[in-house]
Amino acid sequence: MVAGVTVPVPRGAAPPGGTPRPAPGGSPRLADIAAQASVSEATASRVLNGKPGVASSTRRRVLAALDVLGYERPVRLQQRSAGLIGLVIPELTNPIFPAFAQVIEQVLAGHGYTPVLCTQMPGGATEDELVEQLEQRGVNGIVFLSGLHADTSADPARYERLGARGVPFVLINGYHPQIEASFVSPDDRAAAAMAVRHLVDLGHERIGLAVGPTRYVPAQRKAEGFVTALHELLGLPRGDAELRVQRTLFSVEGGQAAAGVLLDQGCTGVVCASDLMALGAVREARRRGLDVPRDVSVVGYDDSPLIAFTDPPLTTVRQPVQAMATAAVGALLEELHGNPVQRTEFVFQPELVVRGSTAQVPHR
């Protein structure tokens, strides 16, 4: 008992009267909880005792501190869920998708909603099957990340039918004009142009793009931004610029294959549509005995977690994950509260992050 507050019992500890199992490093005090949450002990005390007068963001930090320190929340602080929200993502092997999922889940939890994560795996459930399962569980709404809405070959009527069944939803990364919904996207054209401009500023003139299949909206937009940038910055005819675009799989192997073709064309700079593709481009350059960035400069896209620690640290265009995920959840919650936002695409600006995989053009 500290300052009138009963510090929560650690997970796995014995009940009162039993023999406690000490947590590693000892049991945290109120001061430890306050320090973890960056609040005063008095504020931590008010939260743990369920007292009013504390901002919701501060309350969440204190509760998060309990979670980080491995302690159960007091029963009086365990709120009932406001409802279930489905989150449908393509897969977990690309680190940008878990990054989005983590932020979305955090924002949902902060508003009292319980996220239900659904992942599409090769040979597993389809997006339509996952949606059916979520509806059976009675979800209040669904967030789609890089789903079939981004695939121009897919039938957009599935989303119209979902809306007709009374299930609110929001769509991230991919826009379709026939779908009546709120979309949240990065400016893919601007992202490609940023990468090209960076390489041009370093003296590169033979620049290629490794991007995904044409049917995907983000791939289309990146290719458009790339071709326009080569035309405007280097005066390259659009037809010639199109020849510098290699469409491949969104994977390390796809990036490696595309980079092989671009290097054969004499490219000294390679722009990639994902960080994983960029790692493939680096792999191909090294396979040929080339140094990155001395011989070849490589730019990725996403700024996935840990990408700053690759060898070399990857120059990339950062996708604004925090802002996009927060906006998507906000739009969905407005819909749930009876205040639907504009049925349009909200476009967020990416940011160039320069690291060690780009350098001045080599002198040959």
Which residues sit opposite 315 in a β-bridge? 299
Copy the structure tokens of residue 293.
């960035």
39-43: long-range contacts (C-beta < 8 A, 24 or more apart)? 41/3, 42/3
Helices and strands in the chain: count of H runs, count of E runs: 12, 12
% of the chain beyond a pLDDT of 90: 67
Distances, alpha carbon 57 to alpha carbons 62, 114, 193, 247, in Å: 9, 18, 37, 44
Q: How far apart are CA 139 and CA 101, in angstroms?
A: 17
The mean pLDDT of 193-211, rounded to a whole number, is 97
Which residues sit opposite 142 in a β-bridge? 86, 169
Segment 331-354, tens digit of pLDDT: 999 999 888 788 899 999 999 999
The mean pLDDT of 221-235, rounded to a whole number, is 97
Q: Is the dihedral of CA 355, 357, 361, 362 positive or negative?
A: positive
Domains for the chain: give ranges and CATH numbers: 1-78 (1.10.260.40), 83-186+321-348 (3.40.50.2300), 188-318 (3.40.50.2300)
Low-confidence winner among 34-38, 181-185, 191-195 (lowest mean pLDDT): 34-38
- Please report which confidence band the pLDDT of residue 81 belongs to, taking 50, 70 and 90 as the band edges: low
Which residues sit opposite 71 in a β-bridge? 10
Segment 45-76, tens digit of pLDDT: 888 887 888 887 888 788 888 878 877 777 66
Segment 110-141, tens digit of pLDDT: 888 889 999 987 778 899 999 999 999 999 99
Q: Please say if the pLDDT value at position 11 is more than 80.
A: no
- Rounded to 5 degrees, what angle do the CA atoms 199, 202, 205 make? 60
- Cβ neighbours for 55, distance < 8 A, ≥ 6 positions apart: none
Q: Is the dihedral of CA 245, 246, 247, 250 positive or negative?
A: negative
pLDDT score for 91: 82
Q: How far apart are CA 56 and CA 66, in angstroms?
A: 16
Relative orientation angle of helices 56-68 and 30-37, to the nearest 10 degrees: 120
Q: What is the dihedral of CA 57, 62, 66, 67, to 10 degrees?
A: 20
Backbone angles phi, psi at 246, to 5 degrees: -110, 115
Distances, alpha carbon 231 to alpha carbons 97, 196, 202, 243, 266, in Å: 32, 11, 17, 12, 18
pLDDT score for 141: 94
Distances, alpha carbon 50 to alpha carbons 4, 259, 281, in Å: 12, 58, 54
Tokens 């059916």 — which residue?
132
CB 319 within 8 A of CB 350: yes
Q: How far apart are CA 292 and CA 359, in angstroms?
A: 9
Q: Is the pTM of this model over 0.85?
A: no
CB 316 within 8 A of CB 302: yes
Low-confidence winner among 4-13, 65-74, 144-153 (lowest mean pLDDT): 4-13
